[in-house]
Amino acid sequence: MNPFYLIVNIVGLLVFIGLGWLLSHDRKHIQWKSVGCLVLLNLVISWFLTSFEWGRAAVQACANGFTWIVDIAYQGVNFTFGNWINSDGSAVVYNAVDSSGQVIGTVTTSLNFVVQTLMPILLIVPLFDILTYIGFLPWLIKWIGRGLGFITRRPKFETFFAVEMMFLGNTEALAVSKIQLERMKADRNVTLAMMSMSCITASIVGAYIQMIPGEFVITAIPLNCINALLISHMLYPVEVTPEEDVIYGLEGAGDEIPVDTSTPEAREVESKEVAAYKALPWYKKIFKHNPAKPKKEPFFTFLGDSILTGGQLILIIAANVTAFVALTGLIDGILGLIWSNLSLENILAVILFVPAWLLGLPVNEAWQFAQFMGLKLVTNEFVVMGEIQDTVNNFAQHYKAEICVFTTSFANLGTLGMVIACFKSMVNKEKNDAISKQIGRIFLSGILVSLCSAAMVGLFEW
């Protein structure tokens, strides 16, 4: 370990956090105690996950559970699109034959973004809506929110959303939080949009691990989630009153059938029912409706609406991602007319060289790192992982750890389009306008979160 590069790494981490303050929407309302708690917590996590296998094993077990759910979703996708994907999520392999009918080899289909990444939403969204319907998810949100909120001093739902993103990814986490998004004020929706730039989906953790060292993929997941809380708060501080710091489950949703208490007789009946419910043992309450809460709509009506919501979300996201990637290609084409070596990727590499060097890397590694950063931001993490998968194990340990952690997130221009699309499909114009005004900060938040996570891991990997 070179002490000079360690010092540069420490300074770099401070610079990345400082940029959050410098470019903040409202510096006066940054809660520095909360910032300190978040930084300290993530440094402890970085140390723990890079030094002990138990921490990595716990996160891996959780990720495997969600991957198992997505693998089950592929059975439904295979039933509908059997010639595109197998029931285990792998590509379909066909026998290639010559004119005489003799098998001369095999042809493997290419998995596309819609089938591999978006179609599992049709299971994940209803699954979590069902957990909300039966009351489990609101209960989980409440206690996780209390625990993380106590440690990090951040609002309850934002802390839960950070954990939710750790496994579900941005689009799925937003989809299952529709009620919360509708109830929260516009500024908090902006915060969630920023956080949504810094996650992955559990369904593709296995794919990541096949291309780059798995220990760094697993380590990056919780670091990105907590750094998302940190950077989103610094770039866009939002004051949340105790009255606003609540988590909405199924109860209280606008589409529910309200309990009729318009007459004295009805109120008296309800009062007796509530008293009888409260007198029940706790284990009987689990299977009995609380009369003090609104009645739920019929389950299969609820499930049908949930499936339709998932389908609409897939169409909107696919359209937006297609447009954003095409626009990026158009920009590269125009720049190429000026100079053949000029591209959006190379321009970003020049801009990002200093942040890359501040990760404690020698100049030659920093320039290569900056190019990979630019490539990831204008394309996606799979492109970069594909570029480095054959050589990553030959990298210096420090460089290897930081490049793997940096690439393990969805922070890129395509994700920006996906996040905007999700909010457009779920919240009103006022909230969408607030998000649109902060597009620059939303994109910046994804970059800073990835840089902070890489810098924190870099402190302990040499």
124 with 225, same domain?
yes
Range of the domain at 284: 259-293
273 with 373, same domain?
no
Within 8 A by CB and 6+ apart from 311, the residues are 122
- Return d(Cα 382, Cα 415) in angstroms, integer: 13
- Return d(Cα 389, Cα 377) in angstroms, integer: 18
* pLDDT at position 253: 37
Please report, as a single letter, which amino acid is at residue 230: L
- Name the nearest CA neighbour of 324 among 344, 308, 341: 344
Helix axes 214-235, 397-407, angle to 10 degrees: 60
Within 8 A by CB and 6+ apart from 147, the residues are none
- Number of domains composing the chain: 2
> How many CB atoms neighbour CB 364 within 10 A?
8
- Return d(Cα 229, Cα 205) in angstroms, integer: 22
271 with 389, same domain?
no
The stretches in the chain having pLDDT less than 50 are 250-261
Query: 104 by DSSP, 3-state: which?
Result: strand
170 with 64, same domain?
yes
Task: Please name the residue that has the structure tokens 């389950």.
Answer: 299
* pLDDT at position 270: 65
428 with 362, same domain?
yes
194 with 57, same domain?
yes
- Name the nearest CA neighbour of 175 among 36, 64, 314: 314
Residue 166 lies in a domain: yes
Residue 107 lies in a domain: no
Residue 208 in tokens = 């990541």
Cβ atoms of 360 and 458 closer than 8 Å: yes
283 with 304, same domain?
no
279 with 394, same domain?
no
281 with 355, same domain?
no
325 with 272, same domain?
no
Residue 91 lies in a domain: no
pTM score: 0.71
- For the stretch 126-139, pLDDT in tens is 887 787 788 776 67
Cβ atoms of 17 and 234 closer than 8 Å: yes
The percent of residues above 90 in pLDDT, for the chain, comes to 10
438 with 367, same domain?
yes
Residue 90 lies in a domain: no
323 with 360, same domain?
yes
- Name the nearest CA neighbour of 192 among 355, 429, 452, 426: 426
Residue 406 in tokens = 């940096």
Residue 87 lies in a domain: no
* pLDDT at position 255: 35
Is residue 75 within a helix (H) or strand (E), and if so which, with residue range? helix 53-80
What is the per-residue burial (b if ≥16 Cβ within 10 Å, else e) of 385-421? bebbeeebeebeebbbbbbbbbbbbbbbbbbbbbbbb
